[in-house]
Amino acid sequence: MHSKGSFTKSSNNRILKNVLMKAISSEECLIEMGTNGMDCNTCSTQFQGFPAYYPGNMWVADCDYIDDLIPPVDFEPRKKQITELMVEATHKVVPGNKIDNRWIMSFDDGTTLRFHNASRWQTERPSWIGMGHYAMEHWLGSHPGLKPCDVFSPKDGVPTFGYDDLDEKNVYANKLTPKLETAPGLTFKEQWDQKYGLHPWYRRGGRRYEYNYLYGGQPDKSSWFLKYWNGTIGLP
């Protein structure tokens, strides 16, 4: 829990703070999480699969899961190391060719990501990469053992929301009733793929590389990650 909006006062920050507080103080997050077949280790408002976080970054989490995470003080430096590796791994497919706009990221472990120049800006955006103060928004969801739940799920008809569109989408704390659901409530394609020509660093291959670099492991077969990226999570 934190003082959301204390540095940037706006109606959306005020609305989001109220929504966040209702979620993390709910019985669903504080008591029901991890019980009655709800196998979660994190809980909050509405989990977003890309990036893996809860907008507003307030949450309830299982202590054993938090123990497995990189200590917060070390997390941003590790993300910076990954960013430097991304730069070193990026090469033009045909060097010196001004017309050919194809690029490749080639990492030492054999991971190869191919993309076009139009998506390169996405690897320079701090909020997407998780650099600076954005690192802490990426921290909770950075481990392959993440098992997210949320209480304002799209499965129950709540619109997907972020930082700036709660008022527009009519999402207010007094209109929301917490209900614990496994997350995320939408597939990647439904949520993001049609909005952006997404750089492969943010797709399955890039996410797997980052899991391995940060924690030396991968999500297991029951993970939300595989269902999300295979397109098998969706609305009823």
Report the percentage of the chain scoring pLDDT > 90: 64
Domain contains 4: no
Instruction: Record the pTM.
Output: 0.90
| Residue 163 to residue 55: CA distance in whole angstroms | 6
Q: Is residue 236 part of a domain?
A: no
- The tally of domains found in the chain comes to 1
Confidence of residue 3 (pLDDT cuts 50, 70, 90): confident
Specify which residues 94 forms β-bridges with.
none
Range of the domain at 151: 11-230
Structural domain contains residue 235: no
Query: Is residue 215 assigned to a domain?
Result: yes
Q: Cis (ω within 30 of 0) for the bond into 55?
A: no
Q: Is the dihedral of CA 61, 35, 52, 67 positive or negative?
A: positive
pLDDT of residue 80: 95
Q: Is the pLDDT of residue 179 over 90?
A: yes
Q: Contact 151/45 with Cβ under 8 angstroms?
A: yes
pLDDT in tens, 89-139: 999 999 888 888 899 999 999 999 999 988 888 998 999 999 998 999 999
User: What's 27's DSSP letter?
Assistant: H
Whether 62 is in a domain gets the answer: yes
CB of 144 closer than 8 Å to CB of 219: yes
